[in-house]
Structure 1
Amino acid sequence: MLSHALIVETALALVDEHGADALSVRRLGAALGADPTSIYRYFRNTDDLLLAVADELLGHAQEGWAETGDWRADVRDLSLRLHAAYAKHPRAATLAGHRTTGRAHEIQAVETLLRLLRAAGFPDGEAVRYYHALADQTLAFAVQHAAALSLPPDALAADREVWQGTYAKLAPETHPNIAATMPLLDAEMQHGAFAFALDLLLDAIAARLPAVASD
């Protein structure tokens, strides 16, 4: 029996395995063992299906999340969960991470983040601005990371090797700052910077609280 949930999960699995080309009614129908035209009873077109896949990723990110009462820790945890959900499904993330779905899981994420920021004491204008910054930073890092993970293994390895193969060989006379920091730079560039960047942004937002309280 077809269902909205079964179609979306099957589409997500196909994109994970085959990339963007897998998101076709013909291929999806074959994977479901159903007439491809039957999918149109649930989705208007493939873009409608893509938005459902994008919203499913947001749903995965929020599964099991529990509020602690510490707004900063809760925002941080939710943002990290979103980043991890995209990393788990990198091919789908590169297709869907920049879309606005207007669907249940996205709406819940927006509602939750705004509630956390407003409950922390930020006025509405500040809460909306900080929500926007957090959402854009999280999605940008997530999609960039997903794009890297979607590369063929040899291309990904080659990109990582550039630091040792090119940067490490630059002379101090021509590139003194790279040469001086090369061991640190090489080590740093081998892992993602999202958690650190998120903490920087959250520190900046938290620093606004005293000023907001005194206004």
Structure 2
Amino acid sequence: MPEPQRIPVGRKRRRPTRGGTVLSEELIVTAALELIEAPGGRALTVRRLGAALGCDPSAVYRYFANTDALLLAVADRLIGESLEGFTPGDDWTEALREFATRVHSSVLRHPRLAAVRASRFTAGPAEYQAVDTGIGILLRAGFPPADAVRHYHVFIDTVLAHAALDAEVRDLDGEQKERNGRVWSNAERSLPADSHPHLRAVLDHLPAMADSAFPDTLDLLLAQFRARLPQ
């Protein structure tokens, strides 16, 4: 996947906007994130961004080639924030668990960017640092380079996929959430024993299916990694 187009330093605006603010990539990313997460959830546009920054919308293009490049920069910011202060310890499985939990929690805090973070490479400094950290944990655990890369790929895609799913569930309205919770609680009345014998055999455990599978998935994934670690 090609990297987002970089804007030459010479094109970047250094004089104040009409509101007295000097633009920067950091300021634009912050404003874009606020617009994305504002109540109403309207799409991010350069026109809205210009209004929020108090500048001509075209000034944004001095820093970002298009809104897609800006969106990736916002996602990269969130990656960096999710792992800020993270220092892997000696226990590699616990280090991966904390890494996963931080990323998962970050996606839930910013659900409108869940799909972008799960499906796109930002090619930004925070993502490169995150991948370096994750692969480094697996290398120090004793996995050969090819296995470390493959396992990290499985690991991060699993974490992001579950995070995106959980973010979508969290964004359901009250009625939708209530219906989800009722489905398995009411299974005894809606599942005849002759046609669904296996579900009837586990009725007491079915309500747990309304909860996130992320914790159990992470446990299973880490157990599989431990089983594959060269002795």
Please, what TM-score do these two structures have when normalized by structure 1? 0.89
Give, as a single letter, the amino acid of the residue that structure 2 aligns with 1:102: A
> Is it true that 1:17 corresponds to 2:38 in the alignment?
yes
8 Å Cα contact 1:71/1:116 also seen in 2: yes
8 Å Cα contact 2:33/2:74 also seen in 1: yes
> Is it true that 1:55 corresponds to 2:81 in the alignment?
no
> Is it true that 1:100 corresponds to 2:113 in the alignment?
no
Structure 2 CA distance for partners of 1:86 and 1:76, relative to 1, 3 Å: same
Structure 2 CA distance for partners of 1:190 and 1:28, relative to 1, 3 Å: same
Match of 1:7 in 2: 28
> Is it true that 1:193 corresponds to 2:209 in the alignment?
no
* Structure-2 separation of matches of 1:4 and 1:168: 57
Q: CA deviation at 1:116?
A: 0.8
8 Å Cα contact 1:91/1:150 also seen in 2: no
SS at structure 2 position matched to 1:139 = helix
> Is it true that 1:179 corresponds to 2:200 in the alignment?
yes
Sequence identity (%): 43
* Structure-2 separation of matches of 1:158 and 1:63: 37
The structure with the largest alpha-carbon Rg is 2
Q: State the Cα deviation string for residues 159-199 of structure 1 (Å, max 9, x = none).
A: 3333335675212221122222223111x123211121111
What pairs with 1:92-131 in structure 2 (closer than 5 Å)?
A: 92-131=113-152
8 Å Cα contact 1:87/1:145 also seen in 2: yes
Cα RMSD after superposing both structures = 1.9
Structure 2 CA distance for partners of 1:19 and 1:77, relative to 1, 3 Å: farther
Q: CA deviation at 1:94?
A: 2.5
Partner of residue 225 from structure 2, selected from 205, 209, 212: 205
> Is it true that 1:30 corresponds to 2:80 in the alignment?
no
* Structure-2 separation of matches of 1:30 and 1:157: 39
8 Å Cα contact 1:94/1:147 also seen in 2: no
Structure 2 CA distance for partners of 1:113 and 1:95, relative to 1, 3 Å: closer
The count of corresponding residues between Structure 1 and Structure 2 is: 210
Please, what TM-score do these two structures have when normalized by structure 2? 0.83
Q: CA deviation at 1:10?
A: 2.1
Q: Mind listing any 5+ residue stretches in structure 1 that lack a counterpart?
A: none
* Structure-1 separation of matches of 2:185 and 2:126: 42
Match of 2:174 in 1: 153
Q: CA deviation at 1:152?
A: 3.2
What pairs with 1:47-86 in structure 2 (closer than 5 Å)?
A: 47-86=68-107
Relative CO higher for 1 or 2, CA cutoff 8 Å, sep ≥ 6? 1
Q: State the Cα deviation string for residues 48-89 of structure 1 (Å, max 9, x = none).
A: 011112212211210221221211111110011000000111
8 Å Cα contact 1:19/1:92 also seen in 2: no
Q: Mind listing any 5+ residue stretches in structure 2 that lack a counterpart?
A: 1-20
* Structure-1 separation of matches of 2:64 and 2:149: 32
SS at structure 2 position matched to 1:143 = helix
Q: CA deviation at 1:150?
A: 2.8
Structure 2 CA distance for partners of 1:137 and 1:167, relative to 1, 3 Å: farther
Structure 2 CA distance for partners of 1:41 and 1:165, relative to 1, 3 Å: farther
> Is it true that 1:42 corresponds to 2:34 in the alignment?
no
Partner of residue 143 from structure 1, selected from 160, 164, 189: 164
Between Structure 1 and Structure 2, which shows a larger proportion of helix residues?
1
